[in-house]
Structure 1
């Protein structure tokens, strides 16, 4: 019998024991980043936030999405879940920002280095296919309970789409365009920033959209380790057998997901 789990457990325990200062520093940095998002969202009253998001939806996705945003967020406030929604939104935005900060450079590297792409591909496969609940185990061991382990697990779970689609977008830039840039004397960095990234931007934005959606799905699961937000409402409905509460929390998650999806899709369509 091959006991792989035993060796993984030994590795996690070794990392927890020998890199405790590093994880403490990460806990403080990521925790401060998330708290900054939360305080910013708390400072803005709901009667300003809702019209602003509706105006953004109108600008990027059209009148129908704007009306849905206005009515949907109004319904969330009416159900009494506004604070939980802002907690979820803060965790999604902070986790997505960190995932993009890591994922886009990795996608660029994989597009420009076939060897890097070969190494990253199985790692990304593992990250995408591993059950989401598994990520909660090392997150809790490294950071304890709270929003930081939730963000850590969310970043790992949500990062693969933006890495893959960034690399795909850059590789799909026509060879004729690249050759023309070289013929005009463009350096490697000029080729990347002035040619490849602008042409790959619609595909990269699609990856960002997918990362946001996966972050939102993982944030709900992260409520199991006290990440808070709407996931905690849904979890409370399940554990306490309050069917109505669970459905209300689920409806709020769906509304938030649709709003974020339509806005980010609208931005991607405008860049094509």
Structure 2
């Protein structure tokens, strides 16, 4: 028995055309906003000389994580500069920071809604499962269709790929708040807003911060993939090295990505622990 193939692909393409037809100006606005954010962060990171920014980050690392973290920061950043990858690294960092900030701004409110409504959670959970299991390369296709080539579709794809941990752990953290504490807040006449901002979010903060940390790391993992659609940065060097079989150049770019990843991971972890204490 031959069962006709379901026209899923054609349906997606039809939906894409409809969105482009009726929401084109909206996508143009998103493109302008995200492009402006990336350009602004990149300009801020490259405004100061590499040595000055290295000293600032090293001082921040010492303040947050003491001398071991500061030593790694100064050695790692000086190595990136020595390899001639400072500006590409700052471009990649601008992409990561933009994607992470937007993912958190979207993810935390959605996680709060999931925690407060079982219906919302039941709707969002399958969507998150789909987002986390779909290959990251697939996100590049609609991103390019709606936002053309460049850094903006890379940011959009990174947000889609990286946002689930923030939503899930925000939801989990709020739901794990002791029911007795919530009942006590209700007994004292707290409003829903007071209960959320003065009780649930502060107690759930460690769990939420863990989700934000994972979002940052996942955003960074999209740097190389985003380079396939025109996003500049260290990822473009890795992609170029792979396509040209230049092992040494690819290894150097990979080292830069590893250094940035370790710095972001350790600094955010230490910062979150400091806030908890």
Place the TM-score, normalised by the shorter chain, in its bin.
over 0.9
Of the three residues 171, 177, 187, the one matched with 1:173 is 177
Cross-structure match for 1:200: 204
- Corresponding position of 2:92: 88
Contact 1:61 1:265 in 2 (8 A): no
Q: 1:12: Cα distance to partner?
A: 1.2
Q: Distance in 2 between matches of 1:93 and 1:224?
A: 19
Displacement of 1:13 in angstroms is 2.0
TM alignment of 1:23-62, pairs within 5 A: 23-62=27-66
1:87 Cα shift? 0.3
**1:16 maps to 2:13:** no
* 1:200-219 alignment, distance < 5 Å: 200-219=204-223
Looking at structure 2, the residues matched to 145 and 256 of structure 1 have their Cα atoms a distance apart, in angstroms, of: 25
What is the distance in 1 between the residues matched to 2:60 and 2:174?
28
CA drift at 1:114: 0.7
Identify the residue that residue 3 of structure 1 maps to in structure 2: 7
Conservation of the 8 A alpha-carbon contact between 1:201 and 1:271: no
Note the 1:51-130 alignment, pairs <5 A.
Answer: 51-130=55-134
Q: Does 1:188 align with 2:192?
A: yes
Q: What is the CA RMSD across the aligned residues, in angstroms?
A: 1.1
Question: When the two structures are superposed, what TM-score results if normalisation uses the length of structure 1?
Answer: 0.97
Q: 1:229-244 maps to which residues of 2 (within 5 A)?
A: 229-244=233-248
- The gaps in structure 1 that reach 5 residues or longer are none
Superposition deviation, residue 46 in structure 1: 1.2
Report the CA distance between 1:156 and its aligned residue: 0.7
| 1:16 and 1:142 in contact (8 A); partners too | yes
The answer to whether the 8 Å contact 1:110/1:117 transfers is: yes
The list of structure 1 runs, each at least 4 consecutive aligned residues, that deviate by more than 6 angstroms after superposition, is none
- Deviation digits for residues 214-255 of structure 1 (CA, Å, limit 9, x no counterpart): 000012210000111110010010111111111111110011
| Residue 173 of structure 2 is aligned to residue 156 of structure 1 | no
CA contact (8 A) 1:58 1:65 kept: yes
* Unmatched segments (≥5 aa) in structure 2: none
SS of the counterpart of 2:222? helix
Aligned residues: 272
CA distance in 2: counterparts of 1:2 and 1:25, whole angstroms:
34
Alignment pair present for 1:147 and 2:151: yes
